Amino acid sequence: MPFQPQHDDLPARLRALADLMPGNMRDGSGMHEYDGKVADMSPDGVRDALSRLGGDPLDDPHDDAHLAAFEKALRYELGELQLHRANPLYHLGELDLSGYDREYAPRADRDAARTAHLAEWPRVVDNAIAALDRVPAPVAESLIGAVRGVAEGLPDDLPADVREAALDAHARLVAHIERAAKEGPESAGLGAEALGRLMGSGEAVEVDLADLAARADAERDRLRARLAEATGRLAPGREPMEFARELTRRHPDKDGVLDAARRWTELALEFTAERDLAPHSDGECRVDVSPPSQRWATAMMAWSGPWEADTPSFYFITPPDASWTKEEADEWLEMFSHTTLPAVSVHEVAPGHFSHGRALRRAPGPVRRALHSMTFAEGWAHYVEEMCAEEGFGAYAAERLGDAAWTADHYEAGVWVEALIRVTRLSVAIGVHSGTMTVEEAAARFAEDTPLQGPAALSEARRATFDPTYGRYTWGKLEILRLRERARERWGDGFTLARFHRALLDLGSPPLGLVDAVLEHG
């Protein structure tokens, strides 16, 4: 039985999609009728679920196209590419229990849901082992830490029999992925055609990888120039990237990271509300330490979903592990430097993901509230980092901080550093999956074009093997910037950022190919 009432008003086509993505519906959309439930990601289970997709058109043509893009994406990635047989992430998502940590319901209800979900782990693992018969060795090597980590932090008060069966199943999955790391195929490349179709199918567009790679190179050159301008004002005569690396080494200590993130959250929320940069500036955003199973990520937003009661959202921060050496901890803390943490907080909170989540709660219709293009979502959050630089957030923050050692140029430098990492992801993803770049060459690209060095650069390069669309941040940003210029031309004197942002977020988190609707209905 569901832990929350069933939403019987969903269109049948949307329900079929939701049943295939219970984790997304539960944690991203707040549909807690999926609490304690998992998808059957075995080969037979996926085939059966895909066969149920489709049906009668929706009344709203835009929502129908939005829904159709998601159906097309699943048919391609799970039906044709069968990525659930090559990528453990599809199965890790079915094991993830971290969503139950957020206070969207009474503790007893969430604990019961977590226990029911954990009781499904043996079945999830059986399905995963049945499916994962073609995992490339580089993918297995890159994800083995995440596979091991999904079982970290299980509460001590779980029923002993459920806990023991779950951990036994988890151990079998770990062994399976460890074996794949030794015996799996050497190449993780999808091929250029497959990557293009994978990127475009869910975005309702045809992707020209050569054109997108050229746009990425042009964006890299623009960002390098902007970084040189900002660092030139901070340290005249210094080599820009060398000085940027020096800036990222200036960071809070491990005990000060949360307090720093809370201060930047406060400033970002205030600035967004004062300048009317997001449609809605309500709700509560708390800053806290990431749940144990999510501590592979440096920072993340867990928002109050569209179908939930209006409960707090969480900006999760992962401080260094207590067991790490000082050198390891310092390297991790560079991602929360005094220069980059402001941009990270704008991205995660306001007017980034938190503000987007507030808009999703008001998005018209269930399709827009339930189905979120991650290319749009990450593109939006990345876009607002630079937009806030344009609107003067650096000077605004500097005035309120009253710290002579931090200036508006530090915010700008952080924006350009973060953007260079994102655009390098796009170039590397295209290179690795088109076969024109090895992982080692990709790591060298990160080391040349970003402050990342050594293990950090290699880690980013390896991510391309299991997250082939991680260029979505820059791609989404570029499309939003291009649309903004078209809106300026179309609307003339009627253009304002507030109008553009409201019209854009009224679409929810739409496939990129559908964002032009803003021009007609904004």
**Domain assignment of residue 6, yes or no:** no
Question: CA 305, CA 363: separation in Å to the nearest integer?
Answer: 11
The whole domain housing 103 covers 12-188
Contact present, 272 and 355 (Cβ < 8 Å):
yes
pLDDT confidence of residue 200: 97
Give the model confidence (pLDDT) of 7-29 as tens digits: 768 999 999 999 999 999 999 99
198 domain-assigned = no
| Lowest-pLDDT choice from 279-288, 315-324, 404-413 | 315-324
Based on the domain organization, do 303 and 336 belong to the same domain?
yes
**103 and 179 share one domain:** yes
Segment 388-415 mean pLDDT: 96
Nearest alpha carbon to residue 470 among 424, 423, 426: 426
Q: Is residue 200 domain-resident?
A: no
Last residue of a domain, one of 155, 188, 221: 188
**Mean pLDDT value across residues 54-72:** 97
Q: Are residues 168 and 214 in the same domain?
A: no
Cα(329)–Cα(229) distance, integer angstroms = 30
What is residue 5's predicted lDDT score, i.e. its pLDDT? 66
Q: Based on the fold, state whether residues 281 and 389 are members of the same structural domain.
A: yes
Q: Do 31 and 83 fall into the same domain?
A: yes
- pLDDT tens readout for residues 279-292: 999 999 999 988 77
| Banded model confidence at residue 324, pLDDT cuts 50, 70, 90 | confident
* Interstrand relation of 299-302 and 285-289 (parallel, antiparallel or unpaired): unpaired
Domain count, the chain: 2
Same domain membership, residue 387 and residue 242: yes
Average pLDDT, the chain: 94
Q: For 108-129, what is the mean pLDDT?
A: 97
What's residue 522's pLDDT?
Answer: 67
- Do residues 301 and 265 both lie within one domain? yes
**pLDDT given at position 1:** 43
Q: Is residue 244's pLDDT more than 70?
A: yes
pLDDT band at 296 (very low <50, low <70, confident <90, very high): low
For residue 421, the tally of other CB atoms under 10 A from its CB is 21
Q: Are residues 171 and 242 in the same domain?
A: no
Instruction: Identify the pLDDT of residue 331.
Output: 83
Q: Is residue 128 located within the same domain as residue 266? A: no
- Decide: 375 and 472 in contact? Cβ < 8 Å: yes
Q: Which residues contact 234 (CB under 8 A, 6 or more apart)?
A: 243, 247, 407, 409, 410, 413
Instruction: Tell whether 61 and 129 lie within a shared domain.
Output: yes
Q: Is 294's pLDDT higher than 70? A: no
1 domain residue, yes or no: no
Are residue 94 and residue 219 in the same domain, yes or no?
no
Query: Average pLDDT, stretch 488-504?
Result: 97
Whether 317 maps to a domain, the answer reads yes
- Pairing between β-strand 299-302 and β-strand 313-317 as defined by DSSP bridges: antiparallel
Q: Domain check: are 17 and 107 in the same one?
A: yes
Q: Is residue 4 part of a domain?
A: no
In Å, what is the CA distance from 90 to each residue of 63, 94, 125, 341, 350?
26, 7, 11, 30, 29
**Distance (Å, rounded) from C-alpha 505 to C-alpha 364?**
10
> pLDDT band at 295, cuts 50/70/90?
low
* CA dist., res. 216 & res. 213, Å (int): 5
- Within a domain: residue 5? no
What's the longest Cα–Cα distance across the chain?
67
Q: What is the pLDDT of residues 180-235, one digit of tens each?
A: 999 999 999 999 999 999 999 999 999 999 999 999 999 999 999 999 999 999 99
For strand 285-289 and strand 313-317, is the pairing parallel, antiparallel, or unpaired? parallel
Share of the chain above pLDDT 70, in %: 98
Please report whether residue 455 resides in a domain: yes
Query: Quick one: DSSP state of residue 33?
Result: G
Read off the pLDDT band of 323 (50, 70, 90).
Answer: confident
